[in-house]
Amino acid sequence: MTIHVPNVNHRFDPLTINRLGLWLFLVSDASFFIALLSSRVFVSGTSTPDEINQVLGLSLTVLLLLSSLTAYRAEVAAENNDMSHMKNMLLATMGMGILFVFGVGYEWYEALQHFPPSTGFGTVLFTLTGVHVTHVATGILTLGFVYFRVRKIETIGDNLFAVEGAVKWWHFVDVAWVFIYPTLYLLK
């Protein structure tokens, strides 16, 4: 059986091509988030009900920003071939991610009482957080796959892009939240 390894490229190494691909994907997904955010004003104007749990929203934001920091540490560690630190940081990031998902779950539990999906604000809240939390979940999943792949190896070698890509994705998801949070919680 012949194995076709496309002799991709003449001038660019695979890492660069992968990076480009990821960036293009981020641009595309950013476009989705713009659509998402713009629908907020249409559906429930700029009003934010008082019942919304401001403390929870702020904690979630802080949590996600912290996880971005650990993700960044993981990437740096990967570049320096510091495997054990990298693994720890990956685990920490995933841990905070999972916490975030539970936080959103709690937020939904509360929201169901005050503004279920059949109300204007509920529609916005569940859509924005729902789409975002799906992204977070894919981020956790990706980090999980990466962790699974690097857990037993000594040097990073070919897996650098895997770590880098997962981390970039995580940062992207965090930045998306940075836009969603004020749109959802702070508009008056």
Look at the alpha carbons of 58, 64, 68, 69 in this order and tell me if their dihedral is positive or negative.
positive
* Nearest alpha carbon to residue 102 among 47, 75, 64: 64
In the complex, least distance from residue 121 CB atom to other proteins, rounded to whole angstroms: 8
> Rg of the Cα trace of the chain?
19
In the complex, least distance from residue 45 CB atom to other proteins, rounded to whole angstroms: 9
**CA 94 from centre of chain:** 11
**Which residue lies nearer to other proteins by CB, 65 or 138?**
138
In the complex, least distance from residue 118 CB atom to other proteins, rounded to whole angstroms: 5
**Which residue lies nearer to other proteins by CB, 80 or 149?**
149
**Which residue lies nearer to other proteins by CB, 117 or 175?**
117
Long-range contacts made by residues 65-69, C-beta under 8 angstroms, separation at least 24? 65/174, 65/178, 66/96, 67/92, 67/93, 67/96, 67/97, 67/100, 67/170, 67/174, 68/170, 68/171, 68/174
In the complex, least distance from residue 158 CB atom to other proteins, rounded to whole angstroms: 11
**Which residue lies nearer to other proteins by CB, 73 or 86?**
86
In the complex, least distance from residue 90 CB atom to other proteins, rounded to whole angstroms: 15
The residue ranges that bind other proteins (CB under 8 A) are 1-4, 6-12, 16-17, 20-21, 24-25, 27-29, 31-32, 35-36, 38-39, 42-44, 117-123, 126-127, 131, 145, 148-149
